[in-house]
Amino acid sequence: MIFNFIFGRRKKQRKHRASALADLQLGESAILGDMELALPVAEHLMNLGFVPGLEVTVARSSPGGDPRVYRVEGIEVAMRRDLSRHIHVELLGAPAFGD
Amino acid sequence: MTCHAVARPREEALGTSYRTIAVVGPPNSGKTTLFNRLTRLRQKVGNFPGVTVEHHTGYVRDSEGHEVALIDLPGVYSLTPKSEDEKVAVDVLTGQMPGTPHPDAVIVVLNSTNLHSHLVLAGRVIALGLPTLVLLNMADELRKQGGHVDVLSLARQLGTPVALVSATTGEGIVAVQNFLSSATASPEPLELPVVGSTRGYREWAVKVGTNAKYRRPATPVWTQRLDSIFLHRTWGAIIFGVVVVGVFQTIFAIGQPLSNLLQHFLDVSGSQIGNHLPQGMFSSLIVNGVWKGTGSVLVFLPQILLLFLVIGILEDSGYLSRAAVIADRTMSRVGLNGKSFIPLLSAYACAVPAIMATRTIESKRDRIATILIAPFMTCSARLPVYTMVIAAFLPNRPVLGVFLGTRALAMLGLYVLGFLMAVFTARLLKSSILKSKDAPFILEMPPYRWPTLVSLGLRLVDRGKAFLYRAGTVIMLVSLLLWAATNFPMHRGQPPAVQDSVVAWVGHAIEPAIRPLGFDWKIGVGLLTSIAAREVIIATLGTLNGIDPQSHAVDLQAALKHELTPAGAVALLVFFAFAMQCMSTVAVVRRETNGWKWPVLQFGYMTVVAYVAAFAAYNIVGHFIH
């Protein structure tokens, strides 16, 4: 695509911090923890259903790998890595799949 | 113009029925579908004063035949007035919105497939103390996917009437009628737990839902299946490409010829009208002023309607959100998000429908930024101008065999030029006045649904009306002004030759200002008349040189070569690439942003950019070519 052609592809940045939503692999699930986000952003996410304590699954990924679609209680929300790496998660014992 | 929700005064004596009811609900709750089902075509569009938020007021009759105004509020998740949408919702619900009466009651529309999140809004609305009806929408989907909720229990807990409805099938809608007739019985809302935080409300909502035996439905299988294709690593990208080409082709290959056909029809009928009128100023005013003005408004309709048909299908089916996810990575490079992609793409055909299409962008700042950069995309009105100037000055020589000639290369260069300026401007805006640090990209993925004809049709009527009434008036006014400028002063009741008219005086007057760009007064007049539409400069230059541009295109090119140096020609192309000489775009930006602030800023910015760039081009190119 012309946009990608002009701007080139961004290098994948991989930070290893297993406790962030961004670090989960596609299909993996975890329990939502605290959000290191500005209050309005965190509240918006909670209004959508992203409430700490609920199970979250990495449902889909855009072809470029960012943003990704996350599922909580059947609700699917897309967000970028710059947001998901500020959302802490607690890993579940075994890989689980929602729905 | 503000839209008054209820024109007639409230009669306190009656006092037994609701007069104004606010409809509120989260995005993706099907609120608009429900609103459309209740009011059909009996709707008015308006803007609340001072904000870009648009609202619809519709009318229904209660059982006694009284007219009730329904105000469709913007989709909100909560009532903490943080965003513009939420502030509008709170102001209307508390009666603080100027020009809008305090609502007598509220209808809350929730998505029954996502009750735990959506009940939070119901809680906040009920806490306001107005008589409230809670509608659990999408009952059909809830049932089909194995969900369940005890409506009676919910009503008992909330202290308000609750109904399971489906806006698409019409199931349960009768509850609204019952609510309208129940006005006499003032319901006493039960006491809600005073919970301030979002988390507290959420816990309350889950408790209420659990008590009502709420069982969340499974995600529809089809949505899962389609997403595994549409968001597939390779297939997703390919399908996205096909959709994008399809959207572009629809407006370019279908909309453009339709517009041309309409234009031709209007021209022919215009001269027919002229034949039946006595020669003179009146005839000229009617044919060249009013009729041409009407024409320049109407020619946009086919493209606007087609684009909104396509976007309507994409949005209602749920694909638009997926497309935004796919395009987001690319758009994020310039500080925008994926939702800007389709509007910006449409701007390659015409900025007017493109700017109207930005309403799918939820983030206000991203929406304004997209509106501001859209006119830099090379629209189809620029093409005739580019073609004429390039053909006049650049001999066509092959560069890459038969595939690419010098002229095509120059054309491509102009596309890239406009695109780069758009990118530059977007970056500039997003790092200064339109920073969106606290409004990151968060997009809900609705399940896939079949778009309904009614919903698509109403959207077309709505957009068409909005454009004709609100932008059309400005376009009409400017057309009449331009007509007056080219037809005065009169000589013995006859309009003057263009070179003796007011517009020529202005052309002469601005000549010192455009001299540094290599333009003479004739080009100046062309720049002025092209405000009606960019390609009008060709007809103007034809008239000024006494050449018919249609039959003697080559002669006009020769005349142009006389008027401009090659450096001046480059400057003219650059000027056209950047300048916002298009009154329709200005009018539509004013309409979409509900004020003159943004269109004036945009016009000023683009004119300065065009002037400076054309000046630079003239001097740099003039340095090398003489």
B195-209 tens-digit pLDDT: 667 778 888 888 899
Distance CA A26, CA B141 (A): 27
- Using DSSP's 3-state secondary structure scheme, residue B517 falls into helix
Q: For chain B, which residues score pLDDT lower than 70?
A: 1-17, 50, 183-196, 436-439, 492-493, 626
**Which residues in A lie closer than 8 A to residue B445 (C-beta atoms)?**
69, 76-78
Helices H / strands E in chain A, number of each: 3, 5
Which residues have CB under 8 Å from B618's CB, separation 6+? B516, B517, B518, B567, B568, B570, B571
What are residue B396's phi and psi, to 5 degrees? -85, 110
Contact yes or no for B82 and A40 at CB 8 A:
yes
H or E stretch covering B245: helix B235-249
Which of B339, B420, B443 should one mutate to test binding to chain A, selecting the residue with the greatest count of A CBs within 10 A?
A: B443
Residue A5 falls inside a structural domain = no
pLDDT of B80 reads: 80
Range of the domain at A50: 17-91
Which of A51, A71, A77 should one mutate to test binding to chain B, selecting the residue with the greatest count of B CBs within 10 A?
A: A51
Nearest-by-Cβ selection for B326 from A49, A63, A80: A63
Q: Name the A residues in 56-75 with CB < 8 Å from any B CB.
A: 59-67, 69, 71, 73-75
- pLDDT per residue, tens digit, chain A (99 aa), is 454 444 444 444 444 445 899 999 999 999 999 999 988 888 889 888 899 999 999 999 998 888 999 999 889 999 999 999 999 999 876 554 544
B90 CA to chain A: closest CA distance, Å?
16
pLDDT of B6 reads: 35
Distance CA B376, CA A97 (A): 46
The two tokens of residue B466 are 């909005």
Residue A50 falls inside a structural domain = yes
Residue A60 falls inside a structural domain = yes
Please compute Rg for chain B using Cα positions: 28
pLDDT of B571 reads: 95
Contact call for residues B372 and B354 (beta carbons, < 8 A): no
Residue A7 falls inside a structural domain = no
Residue A98 falls inside a structural domain = no
Residue A81 maps to which CATH number?
2.30.30.90
The two tokens of residue B578 are 């950047």
What are residue B95's phi and psi, to 5 degrees? 75, 20
- Asked if the C-beta of A3 comes within 8 angstroms of chain B's C-beta atoms, the answer is yes
| ipTM summary value | 0.81
**CB atoms closer than 10 angstroms to residue B237:** 17
Nearest-by-Cβ selection for A63 from B26, B237, B324: B237
- Asked if the C-beta of A45 comes within 8 angstroms of chain B's C-beta atoms, the answer is yes
Nearest-by-Cβ selection for A77 from B227, B240, B442: B442
Residue A96 falls inside a structural domain = no
**Which residues in B lie closer than 8 A to residue A83 (C-beta atoms)?**
440-442
Structural domains of chain B, ranges and CATH numbers in brackets: 20-218 (3.40.50.300)
Contact yes or no for B329 and A62 at CB 8 A:
yes
Contact yes or no for A73 and B120 at CB 8 A:
no
**CB atoms closer than 10 angstroms to residue B331:** 21
Residue A52 falls inside a structural domain = yes
H or E stretch covering A88: strand A87-91
Domain count, chain A: 1
Residue A81 falls inside a structural domain = yes
- Asked if the C-beta of B113 comes within 8 angstroms of chain A's C-beta atoms, the answer is yes
